[in-house]
Amino acid sequence: MNALKETNFTLPGQTKFYRGKVRDVYTVDSNLLVMIASDRISAFDVVLPKGIPAKGQVLNQVANKFLDMTKDIVPNWKISTPDPMVTIGHMATPFKVEMVIRGFLTGHAWRTYKSGERTLCGVALPEGMNEHDAFPEPIITPSTKADQGDHDEDISREEILRQGIVSEEDYLQLEKYTRELFAHGTEYALQHGLILVDTKYEFGKTEDGTIVLIDEIHTPDSSRYFYLEGYEGNQRKGLPQKQLSKEFVREWLIENGFQGKEGQQIPEMTDEYVASVSERYMELYEQITGEKFYRHDDAELQKRIEENVVKELEKLRK
């Protein structure tokens, strides 16, 4: 099974290149972005040493499905998908915050709550909650968008406005879009036997001042899902919830003594473990889309991707 760890293309009209934790992003003619979803996997802001076969394809195809499905709610950056692992879109200036929205007390929110804190990003959390309980209504807990190599940090709405990171007018629009997208994703997930627990959205602004959704949406890297069947019973009995998300990777790392802190060693990722993570990603694709997943596992992934991208750019740059 092939895993795409990185690309190093020189594309026609290329003006810039950026390698994120998971994506390789090429700027073309200063107005187009070519975003390649690699098979890298990160947790606790650290890129793990082995790639996960099919992960990039899953992320790209899930994100594209939801970008197409939600473009009536908020315009987005996408132009085309010339390859299962690639999206080409319009350049936009990203807002320096990620809009995190949570419907349930899970993951980072639960770890904060368990430590005794009763506010998260300036939002008051009710007393008497258990792990994985639903909030009375979804809460927005933004984080700063880290520069390369830095950690994302929790931040409150008040602090975002006080520091002038986002204008009040724009921030209110981001909140509105975030709630509408989450409501749509929640309804869609329920129809497919899942609960959308929490997610994050990233937005940017185009040259004409339009706010657009950028990057991914409702993928297993940006979102957490529970299975609907069994949720209520598990909560009553205090049992763990069956999850479809990247949280199982974080839990495996924690169990093996790694949380991204200085001096900690990343545990060995055996071939068996890598294959199991790949299977989980493909399972999520089929569960959330209701479609069979077909792996595009070419022997020469790099060559296929480059050829498909160059062919599409020839059309877009005419």
CA distances from 41 to 69, 129, 198, 274 (A): 26, 32, 19, 10
pTM of the model: 0.89
What is the rounded distance in angstroms from the CA atom of residue 304 to the CA atom of residue 138?
Answer: 42
The position carrying tokens 């810039």 is 16
Does 235 lie in the same domain as 146? yes
> What was the pLDDT predicted at 250?
87
Residue 242's pLDDT is what? Answer: 87
pLDDT tens digits along 78-110: 999 999 999 999 999 999 999 999 999 999 999
Residues of the chain with pLDDT under 70: 146-151
| Cα–Cα distance, 232 to 243 (Å, whole number) | 14
Same domain membership, residue 133 and residue 86: no
Q: CB atoms < 10 A from the CB of 21, how many?
A: 17
Among 225, 245, 265, give the residue marking a domain's end: 245
C-alpha closest to that of 211 among 256, 242, 180: 180
pLDDT of residue 318: 82
pLDDT for 147: 60
Largest CA distance in the chain: 61
Q: By residue range, what is the domain housing residue 157?
A: 94-245
Q: Which of 229, 245, 261 is at the close of a domain?
A: 245
Strand 223-227 to strand 23-28: parallel, antiparallel, or no bridges (unpaired)?
unpaired
235 and 115 belong to one structural domain = yes
Report if residue 256 sits inside a domain: no
Query: Where residue 312 sits, what CATH number does that domain have?
Result: 3.30.200.20
User: Number of structural domains, the chain?
Assistant: 2
Tell me the residue type at 215: D
290, part of any domain = yes
For 227-248, the pLDDT digits (tens) are 999 999 999 999 999 887 787 8
Distance CA 203, CA 166 (A): 11
Q: Is residue 234 located within the same domain as residue 106? A: yes
| Cβ proximity of 178 and 101 under 8 Å | yes
Q: Do residues 20 and 36 make contact, with C-beta atoms less than 8 angstroms apart?
A: no
Position 76 scores a pLDDT of: 97
